[in-house]
Amino acid sequence: MPIAEVEKIWMDGELVDWADAKIHVLSHALHYGSGVFEGIRAYETARGAAVWHLEEHLHRLFRSAKLYHMDLPFSYEEIVLATKDVIRVNGLTSCYVRPIAFRGYGEMGVNPLNAPVNVSIAVWPWGAYLGEDALEQGVRSKISSWRRNAQNALPAAAKADGQYINSVLAKVESLKAGYDEAIMLNEAGFITDGSGENVFIVRNGVLFTPPTQAGCLDGITRGTVITLAREREYVVREENLVRTDLYNADECFFTGTAAELTPIREVDDRQVGAGHRGAVTKELQDAFFAATKGEDPRHTDWLSYVDD
């Protein structure tokens, strides 16, 4: 998806012109994947742009950095302010937000500890990740032949640059085979997540999603949807799922910051349920989007207003 350029990017404490937000070709992260990042969205609300779950995303960023022994040269509070500044200065009312902390230029070799840590935050307008129609029509998904990174190889507890090459294998395989998105199994054959989304199914009115121990990212949208579903009296179970659970589900959907809440209408050429967005998916989607707009009074604390 091409990037819609805006004016400024926050880089190491400065707001620099989009075209000047560059790094050296010998940056450590480019060679060894030694960075951590977040994907966040800001939504338009009646009180202006608001960042969705900013605190949770930034806490995950700092946890990811800790796992890789990266000390960020900026405090949590400074990153909060920088995120709001870069949205404000670009005049965006809704956008995607990409903070990244990475090992920069100065050292080569696998040891990252002496390389500097750089931090940047880019923002740009980004529509529906899996296509505008997908939110209503649903997507076609394929169980990947590539297994999800094993927990003791590349831990899913961190959102690190390098681990995404695993998702890239799966995503490209699914696209080349004519599908929209991949779903990955772990070494034991249980469902983990999509290349960039968590997975839910609905069976007899009960929601199921894999536990994080299966090897999926502890998605912030996943947590949001679990809360919204339980508030609506749904039972939600975090249980291991196998691929046939997806084929035989009444409904199936992805959750993620980029994908938001996207129905899955087919898995491995088997129609899921009625083959279009189901009633539970629609109810949760509506609840989700209402909350992102600040229209759910129970959850206004999920929004951090850019101009507060």
Ligand X SMILES: Cc1ncc(COP(=O)(O)O)c(C=O)c1O
Q: Verify binding: residue 221, ligand X, rule CB under 6 A.
A: yes
Contacts of 145 (CB under 8 A, 6+ apart): 173
Stretch in the footprint of ligand X (CB under 6 A) among 5-13, 91-99, 196-204, 299-307:
196-204
Residue from 87, 135, 207, 220 binding ligand X (CB under 6 A): 220
Residue from 197, 245, 251, 266 binding ligand X (CB under 6 A): 197
Kindly tell me which of 36 and 115 has the beta carbon lying closer to ligand X.
36
**Helix and strand totals (H; E) in the chain:** 8, 17
Kindly tell me which of 120 and 212 has the beta carbon lying closer to ligand X.
212
CA-to-CA separations, 13 to 21, 42, 74, 121, 221, in angstroms, rounded = 12, 21, 8, 10, 29
**CA 156 to CA 217: how far, in whole Å?**
5
Contacts of 254 (CB under 8 A, 6+ apart): 130, 139, 141, 181, 194, 197, 198, 199, 200, 261, 262, 264
Give the tokens for residue 73: 């040269």
Residues 32-61, one symbol each (x = binds ligand X by CB under 6 A, - = not), give -------x----------------------
Stretch in the footprint of ligand X (CB under 6 A) among 75-83, 205-213, 216-224, 267-275:
216-224
- As measured in angstroms, the least distance from the Cβ of 283 to ligand X is 19
**8 catalytic per annotation:** no
Amino acid at 140: R
**CA 76 to CA 82: how far, in whole Å?**
10
**159, 176, 282, 293: which is the annotated catalytic residue?**
159
95-103 and 236-238 strand pairing: unpaired
Kindly tell me which of 174 and 198 has the beta carbon lying closer to ligand X.
198
Residue from 97, 170, 214, 217 binding ligand X (CB under 6 A): 217
- As measured in angstroms, the least distance from the Cβ of 148 to ligand X is 8
Q: Verify binding: residue 219, ligand X, rule CB under 6 A.
A: yes
Residue given tokens 């949590």 in the structure block: 76
Q: Which residues bind ligand X (CB under 6 A)?
A: 39, 167, 193, 196-198, 216-217, 219-222, 255-257
- Give catalytic residue positions: 159
